[in-house]
Amino acid sequence: MDKGADFLAFNKKISRNGADAHRYDFNSHEFRYDLVVDLMEYTYLGDKLTDPKLKKAICCAVKRADGKCIRGRNGSMLVEFDRGEKVVVMGRLLRKVK
């Protein structure tokens, strides 16, 4: 099978948020999941107890293997700052970068 026919063998459907791609292979009758790179960038506002280095800093959401952000039960979120440190922060203090 050449590349063109192999490409046509997949029915590709991208989800609403663009985080993951869902493919169905008609030849082997399998579902395959591919991760589409989609960086979710936020500005962390912080509060009065926050380290001053982290206030107004840009961070990216850490994602699971299926492309969803890691969120806690109480609204917390795991983010990674530019310096490479991963921190759990309150989701209410994050603002999306446009």
Same domain, 51 and 85: yes
**What was the pLDDT predicted at 13?**
37
**What was the pLDDT predicted at 19?**
44
CA separation for the pair 41, 45 (Å, rounded)? 13
- Residue 8 is part of which domain span? 3-35
**What was the pLDDT predicted at 38?**
61
Same domain, 65 and 89: yes
**What was the pLDDT predicted at 46?**
93
- Name residues of the chain where pLDDT drops below 50: 1-20, 35-36
Same domain, 91 and 53: yes
Same domain, 30 and 45: no
**What was the pLDDT predicted at 66?**
86
Same domain, 46 and 65: yes
- Would residue 84 be called left, alpha or beta, if left means φ above 0 and alpha means ψ between -120 and 50 degrees? left
Q: How many domains does the chain have?
A: 2
**What was the pLDDT predicted at 23?**
56
Q: What is the DSSP letter of 36?
A: P
